Amino acid sequence: MRLIVYKKRFIVMATALMLIAVILTGCRIIPHSRFNVRQYVFKKYGLWNVSISKESEEKEGADVWTVVDKKNDVEFSVTDLFNLGHDGYYLTDDYEYSLVMNKSDILLDGFDEFECVDNSDNPYYPVKFEFHYKNLADLRKRCDELEEIYRRLSKMNSEVAVTYSSILDFSFKDEVNDKLPDVYLDDADISFKKSCGKNVGDEIYDEIKLYYVWHAYNYQWPVLLDDITEKDIEEMLAYEHMIHVSVVNADETEELIPDVISYRCWELTFGSLYLLLKEKGFDVTGYATHYTVLAPSGIEYEFSYDFYDGDGIYVLADGEKTFLRNYDDDFYISTEEIEEFFGLDLNVR
């Protein structure tokens, strides 16, 4: 009997301590009301002309309120979730997704190169405007169109912010390698959350152009290089987040190779390696997309953006296939292999 009393006291004390902890941490322990939902959509999106279901509906253990934006005639959901590590009960919604997907015909009218993409697996970017481009002139046009799309969206609701995705299409992909998976060669997916403002098209163009110039230069793609200027390259190389390459000498001093860059700090593309080897005085024959080079060991290595098969990316060492330790299938060679082949100790940062 005494044990039962102790157990009851323990449960009461534990419950009290939990409530105190919840209060002290500011957690909400009471579900949100219909009035709270109205406050939520007004504060987040400026929505005041709405209708809200009289009662919430339980779905997968959470209370879901149905809300209609009367101005745009869009129905969406507000969900009341509970997570002790997320301040107890908190509200979330699918308004941006519902608005864009329901009004996509209006938003994209006249812009055939765009589509509204369901990205609902991403809680931060549940929907996005996606477009393809082939060169800088094409990109400029797409960015101007995207600015108009954001302007249309802003007229529907100026508080909504939707991301975009730009995909660079290589018009010469089949000439490079028709076996390489698309996602590694021609899928340049960049996302930024944007709301309509002055010169948003210019801002997006500058952001994507920086990547475009980097991509052209890093891989040394001839067609893309023909589309950019020396000034574009200089501005890209001066970008503060660019990864540069140095050669570590025998005395531990470092020689910066200013014209060579990388995307990751442990490898270089075939094109960047070409520039590095030329800079260091190696006997290189050919072009950045396909070349041979004589190593200090006397072995002749051949690199090409065509050297890919079902087993991976490879180079030819005196005519024999040598597969690289590459896990991404995107024509990179590791700094370890560069040192192994050519005796160059690199610091990439």
pTM for the whole thing? Answer: 0.79
pLDDT at position 262 is 87
Question: Residues 256-274: pLDDT tens digits?
Answer: 998 898 877 889 999 999 9
* Distance from C-alpha of 330 to C-alpha of 196, rounded to nearest angstrom: 35
What torsion do the CA atoms of 284, 285, 291, 297 make, to the nearest 10 degrees? -40
Q: For the residues 275-284, what does the mean pLDDT come to? A: 96
* Distances in whole angstroms, Cα of residue 42 to Cα of each of 35, 79, 288, 297: 11, 15, 56, 71
- Separation between Cα atoms, residue 313 and residue 205, nearest integer Å: 33
CA 266 to each of CA 76, 312, 323: distance values in angstroms, whole numbers, following the listed order: 46, 18, 17
Q: How confident is the model at residue 183 (pLDDT cuts 50, 70, 90)?
A: very low
Does residue 189 register a pLDDT over 60?
Answer: no
Residue-range domain boundaries for the chain: 1-28, 99-237, 243-348
Computed over every residue of the chain, the mean pLDDT equals: 84
What pLDDT, on a 0 to 100 scale, did the predictor assign at position 222? 85
Between 175-179, 213-217, 236-240, the lowest mean confidence (pLDDT) is in 175-179
pLDDT tens, 63-109? 999 999 999 999 999 999 998 666 789 999 999 999 999 999 999 99
Smallest CA-to-CA distance from 233 within 209, 255, 257, 256 is with 209
Residue 48 burial (10 A CB sphere; 0-12, 13-18, 19+): exposed
Q: What pLDDT does residue 2 have?
A: 47
Torsion of CA 106, 108, 112, 116, to 10 degrees: -120
Q: Grade residue 171 by pLDDT with cuts at 50, 70 and 90.
A: low
What's residue 70's pLDDT? 98
pLDDT tens-digit readout, 300-340: 999 998 888 878 889 999 999 999 987 666 788 999 999 99
Please name the residue that has the structure tokens 């060991």: 297
Mapped onto helix, strand or coil, the DSSP state of residue 117 is strand
Residue 140 contacts by C-beta under 8 Å, 6 or more apart in sequence? 205
pLDDT of residue 27: 67
Give pLDDT tens digits for 115-137: 999 988 888 888 999 998 888 99
* CA 58 – CA 293 distance, rounded (Å): 67
